[in-house]
Structure 1
């Protein structure tokens, strides 16, 4: 997610296309010698549709989106979808039409499946 946020910021600040900015950040990230722990990356999207996702986000926020913020959110969503297609996330959940309780249950189910699978793997 940090790579996506950084790329979306670069896209808006430098007027680049979102995927071009993503490739710039990925090239910097791959040049880094830092390695983090293995993790389970679950992406929660308000909707797979960019415009619908932005509308849901604006409706949820307490303030009006102005200036570059809508452009940033559009770039971020495009990059997140690209990352999802690339397999960056272990699971991608479409949360449209789900309340908090059902979203939580869905995440819990995904994590239980992962934990069950991991427990069965030989050491």
Structure 2
């Protein structure tokens, strides 16, 4: 629900100790975070999980941890087909590779605050 993401991002970025960086767990949340950050003075760093179209055209470009969607689908389908064919396998964790695509938004340093 974008309104929940919007409210959570606003809450994290407001107040006496606002966060200096956000990590979004999927591309929809990342896009909502981009909208929130674009409407605010100053910038927090942003890294999203999963790439999305036009992420490289924003300013700064959105840094993401990208996954291979085709490999993810093939792996899930193969596991499903084995189960459908009667394979009696224990549940297992499968880790697929990801890659960091640094475009600038995740590399924004925290703003220096003066405290008394």
Q: TM-score range with shorter-chain normalisation? A: 0.3 to 0.5
TM-score w.r.t. length of structure 1:
0.31
Point out the structure with the larger helix share.
1
TM-score w.r.t. length of structure 2:
0.33
Point out the structure with the larger strand share.
2
Higher relative CO (CA 8 A, sep ≥ 6), structure 1 or 2? 1
> Which of the pair has more CA radius of gyration?
2
